[in-house]
Amino acid sequence: MDFLTIIQILDSTIRLSTPLLLACLAGLFSERSGVFDIGLEGKMLIAAFFSAAIAAVTGSVWLGLLAGIASSMVLAGLHGLASITFRGNQLISGVAINFLAAGMTVLIAQDWFRQGGRTPSLIGAGRFAPIELPFAGALADVPVLGPIYSELLSGHSILVYFAFAAVPATWWILFRTRFGLRLRAVGENPAAVDTAGVSVVGLRYAAVGIAGILCGIAGAYLATALQAGFVKDMTAGRGFIALAALIFAKWRPWHAMGACLLFGFLQAIALRFQNIDLGGLIIPVQVMDALPYILTVVILAGFVGKAIPPRAGGEPYVKER
């Protein structure tokens, strides 16, 4: 394997990690506030569809992005309504949201575009164009560092840079602001937050709303930057890999980035090579597909440091009288 191949694999690692990272941070906000969210997949999917559909109709990818975020927020609101206001089962609500998105996207796409549940291919301003970092062209010939800068770091869409910038932002919001302190507290001990006179319901809705925005961006990235248009079930389990990454990272932002890069790397490898030959030992491609899930189970089992979720996670808060 030569240097350029490695650069190319790392480059696609970054591309493939981005939707995982955005969805993972979405889950991080939601679950830190005590609302389990297995509907990441569905929110990404509906955002992918609406961003591609609006971008195709209007020709503007930015309007598409807004539409994607808005549709994802609608599902997030539904999740909030079910799990916060009506104190229903958060996991069941998440399952329902995933199915709702899987069905509605195809239904609307078929009715709207009549192309078998896909949107027309996006061209020109309908997609996010790659951004060349300054001097990327001039530095390309510098040995080693040149390709790293011009191939690996430069030339991604703006959403990629946004996703990676969101990591320190998330860390700062959660661990350095009053809002973040309260948000984490509401996921650990909502009664204490309530006693302090802060609205548990308000905080949880805020967290679920942030998750909606981030999932919306993740979906829009899939349909308008990574690929050019929406196809049926295009999230392909990424929401669940993001969930796995969240547990792998033990609900911490910087670790989430590490986990998403690792899982993105596995996807990039699986995409490029079919079966990997390690000196006689052949690793079939299916092992690479299953590895994120296997790693998550191992982490969950507590063999490599225990993953402890936010204590009030999954439980609706009932005010005492």
Partner 1 sequence: MDRMPKWADVVLIPLISLILAAALSALVILGIGEDPVAAVKLMVQGAMGSTYGWGYTLYYATNFMFTGLAVAVAFHARLFNIGGEGQAMLGGLGVALVCLYIPWPHWTLALIGACAGAMLFGAAWAAIPAYLQAKRGSHIVITTIMFNFIAAAVLNYMLVNVMRPQGSMDPASARFPEAVQLPTLHELLLPLGINFSKAAPANVSLILAVLACIVVWALIWRTRLGYEIRAYGHSETGALYAGISPVRITMVAMLISGALAGLMATNNVMGEAERLVLNSTEGAGFIGIAVALMGRSHPFGVFLAAILFGFLYQGGAELALWTTIPRELIVVIQALVILFTGALDNMVRIPLERLFMSMNRKRRNRGEGAPLPERKPTQPSE
Instruction: Candidates 1-9, 89-97, 126-134, 261-269: pick the segment binding partner 1 (CB under 8 A).
Output: 89-97
Q: In the set 7, 57, 102, 158, which binds partner 1 (CB under 8 A)?
A: 102
Determine the Cα–Cα distance for residues 273 and 85; give it in Å rounded to an integer.
48
Q: How many residues in the shown chain lie near partner 1 by CB under 8 A?
A: 49
CB neighbour list of residue 259: distance below 8 Å, 6 or more residues apart: 24, 244, 245, 246, 248, 249
Residue 63 engages partner 1 in binding (rule: CB under 8 A): no
Distances in Å between the Cα of 7 and the Cα atoms of 147, 154, 265 are 8, 12, 12
Q: In the set 58, 110, 121, 189, which binds partner 1 (CB under 8 A)?
A: 110
Q: In the set 99, 172, 175, 254, which binds partner 1 (CB under 8 A)?
A: 99
Distances in Å between the Cα of 180 and the Cα atoms of 82, 93, 172 are 23, 25, 8
Name the amino acid, one letter, at 253: P
Comparison of 223 and 225: residue with beta carbon closer to partner 1: 223
Smallest gap from residue 202 Cβ to partner 1 (A): 19
Q: What is the DSSP letter of 82?
A: I
Instruction: Candidates 12-20, 90-98, 148-156, 177-185: pick the segment binding partner 1 (CB under 8 A).
Output: 90-98
Footprint of partner 1 on 232-291 (CB under 8 A): 237, 240, 243-244, 247, 284, 286-287, 289-290
Residue 141 engages partner 1 in binding (rule: CB under 8 A): no
Determine the Cα–Cα distance for residues 164 and 178; give it in Å rounded to an integer.
23
Full DSSP string of 175-189: HHSHHHHHHHHHHH-
Determine the Cα–Cα distance for residues 178 and 307; give it in Å rounded to an integer.
25
Q: In the set 17, 18, 71, 93, which binds partner 1 (CB under 8 A)?
A: 93
Distances in Å between the Cα of 58 and the Cα atoms of 52, 73, 127, 180, 218 are 10, 21, 12, 37, 20
Footprint of partner 1 on 293-312 (CB under 8 A): 293-294, 296-297, 300-302, 307, 309
Smallest gap from residue 304 Cβ to partner 1 (A): 12
Determine the Cα–Cα distance for residues 45 and 250; give it in Å rounded to an integer.
25
Comparison of 128 and 240: residue with beta carbon closer to partner 1: 240
In the complex, the residues that contact partner 1 under the rule CB under 8 A are: 36, 38, 78, 81-83, 86-93, 95-100, 102-104, 106-108, 110-111, 114, 117, 237, 240, 243-244, 247, 284, 286-287, 289-290, 293-294, 296-297, 300-302, 307, 309
